[in-house]
Amino acid sequence: MYISNQEIQKIKNVLRTSNLTVIVNWFQHKKYSPEILTKVILRNAWLMKPIHYKKMNALKPIFESCKPKLFLEIAEEIIENKIDAPFDLKRILEPLYYRNIPVEKCEKILEDGHNDFTILKICFHRTIRDISSSNELYRRAKEYFRRYPKLQENIGAIDVTHLEENQQAEFVKTIFIDEILSFEEPQQVWLNTFNRFGKTAFDLAIAYFINYSEFKDPNQKKIINGVIARTVNTEKANRDYFVRTLVILYRKNPVIRFSLIFGVRRIHDPHIAKKLIQEFQAIGIPDVSVMYEIRDEILSGTKNELIIESVEDIYDEIRTNSANNHLRYVSQIFNQKDRNNFRELFKTLLSEYGDEEIVQDFIIEVLRRQNSSYYLNIALDYWNEGQDEAFKRKLLNLIKARQFRSEAVRTFLCEHDFQLHSKIYGRA
């Protein structure tokens, strides 16, 4: 890995001008190896002027092509602030660095904590991919989620493709039993992870219905909407199999026909939804008006869209519809594109109408379905101002069912239900 002083000076001169396209061209035309470029760039990063992240990101392929051991040795000097470097260069280096450091270092970061959430997130994934036992992986993930609630809300799903096939099967079964069936509102990360298993997850959910599901089982709707419909939406390759299986299930098990028909509304592909309803109709639609309404809605390809433009629109919908129908409107509201606008409407609704019971019930339904501490924190702030006892009980019941975690929740529970606080956060 030899390079003359004259050539080093040439690279340094380019760094001073921040004309990174020259360096990228050298790399692409193999004038210099990625190891040489990485070493010279990072050792002389202090020469670089701050430039836009997108321009700085042009260097990323060079660092990615560098031999990992050498990259870690050199990048460490910037990560540990031994060499001055532009902020955006450090932003590019950090993910590459922490994804490749020895797993013991990531475990220590997760043990000690870190003020940069992105690094915690990377170290979580780095640590998880080094665990070969499904039971240990589940235990460690739960522990990290308990310690860092924000992880649970932001990682999307856990990648377990590194596990052996039998361990993957054990893991998906554990998620299904201990997370999806055991909680009234499962955390989104577990639903997302479960759905990644596609056909395996689908078959497991179907087996539950066939062998264990009973009339009015609260898990029926949850599994149909949260697992089966989502799997049909994401797994295009197996859709014919999914349709055949659901039709067989509909024919053999009249008890869950209501749940299956409602679940079809969650299927995004109108052709698949229509095909299922046509098959269900051939077998027989339950003689209830709402079942026929759903059938007609799907077969005609029309849906009643709810347009929300002001807090009065939301309030009018709440007042004119019974509590049993609130979920429909919550779901439609959150399908609107302007989420930021709804955040402001949510705050205004609470401040103007939050003392009314029907509005409180609506707020609780929003919190159940949104799977975010953001809205719950707003509700807790509102409660702290008015201290309505009935609303407090509803919030406590929701936190207990959903296992929400945030600093606002921790403070709220410390003051109003320390037993629940100890259950969620552990004893100090």
Integer Cα distance of 210 and 277 in angstroms: 20
CA 287 to chain centre: 38
* pLDDT tens digits along 91-111: 889 989 999 999 999 999 999
Output the pLDDT for position 418.
Answer: 76
Low-confidence residues in the chain, pLDDT < 50: 305, 323-324, 326-327, 331, 334-337, 428
- Is 110 within a domain? no
- Would you give the end-to-end CA distance of the chain in angstroms? 54
Integer Cα distance of 207 and 213 in angstroms: 9
**Domain housing 297:** 198-303
Contact 374, 365 (CB under 8 A): no
Tell me, yes or no, whether 315 and 362 share the same domain. yes
Output the pLDDT for position 422.
Answer: 77
Residue 390's Cβ-count burial label (10 Å; 0-12, 13-18, 19+) is exposed
Give the residue among 161, 79, 89 at the shortest CA–CA distance from 125: 161
Report the phi/psi class of residue 83: left, alpha or beta, with left for phi > 0 and alpha for psi in -120 to 50.
Answer: beta
- Is 126 within a domain? no
Output the pLDDT for position 309.
Answer: 63
Integer Cα distance of 300 and 90 in angstroms: 54
- Among the three residues 303, 323, 356, which one is the final residue of a domain in this structure? 303
Tell me, yes or no, whether 316 and 237 share the same domain. no
Integer Cα distance of 161 and 170 in angstroms: 13
Integer Cα distance of 102 and 1 in angstroms: 25
Amino acid identity of residue 28, one-letter, is Q
Tell me, yes or no, whether 364 and 416 share the same domain. yes
- Among the three residues 101, 130, 158, which one is the final residue of a domain in this structure? 101
- Is 185 within a domain? no
Integer Cα distance of 67 and 58 in angstroms: 18
Tell me, yes or no, whether 299 and 209 share the same domain. yes
Give the residue among 197, 194, 164 at the shortest CA–CA distance from 181: 194
Integer Cα distance of 176 and 246 in angstroms: 19
- Is 120 within a domain? no
- Is 169 within a domain? no
- Among the three residues 101, 126, 151, which one is the final residue of a domain in this structure? 101
Q: Domain tally for the chain?
A: 3
- Is 260 within a domain? yes
Contact 218, 251 (CB under 8 A): no
Tell me, yes or no, whether 319 and 394 share the same domain. yes
Contact 267, 233 (CB under 8 A): yes
Tell me, yes or no, whether 388 and 363 share the same domain. yes
Integer Cα distance of 313 and 285 in angstroms: 34
- Is 377 within a domain? yes
The reported pTM is 0.64
Output the pLDDT for position 166.
Answer: 92
Integer Cα distance of 379 and 364 in angstroms: 9
Tell me, yes or no, whether 76 and 16 share the same domain. yes
H-state helical runs in 101-228: 103-112, 117-128, 134-147, 149-154, 165-175, 188-195, 199-211, 219-223
Tokens 């077969």 -> residue: 299
Output the pLDDT for position 336.
Answer: 47
Integer Cα distance of 307 and 309 in angstroms: 6
**Cβ neighbours around 141 below 10 Å, total:** 24
Output the pLDDT for position 335.
Answer: 44
* pLDDT tens digits along 313-347: 677 767 665 544 544 555 455 444 455 566 777 78
Output the pLDDT for position 308.
Answer: 60
Tokens 């936190």 -> residue: 399
Integer Cα distance of 233 and 287 in angstroms: 28
Residue 66 is given by DSSP the state: S
* pLDDT tens digits along 187-244: 888 888 988 888 898 999 888 877 766 656 667 777 877 778 888 887 888 889 999 9
List all residues 6 or more positions away from 160 whose beta carbon is below 8 Å from its beta carbon: 128, 134, 137, 167, 168, 171, 193
Tell me, yes or no, whether 315 and 391 share the same domain. yes
Tell me, yes or no, whether 338 and 285 share the same domain. no
Tell me, yes or no, whether 244 and 321 share the same domain. no
Integer Cα distance of 382 and 347 in angstroms: 9
CA dist 112 to 118, 201, 247, Å?
Answer: 15, 35, 52
Q: What are phi and psi of 286, to 5 degrees?
A: -55, 140
- Is 329 within a domain? yes
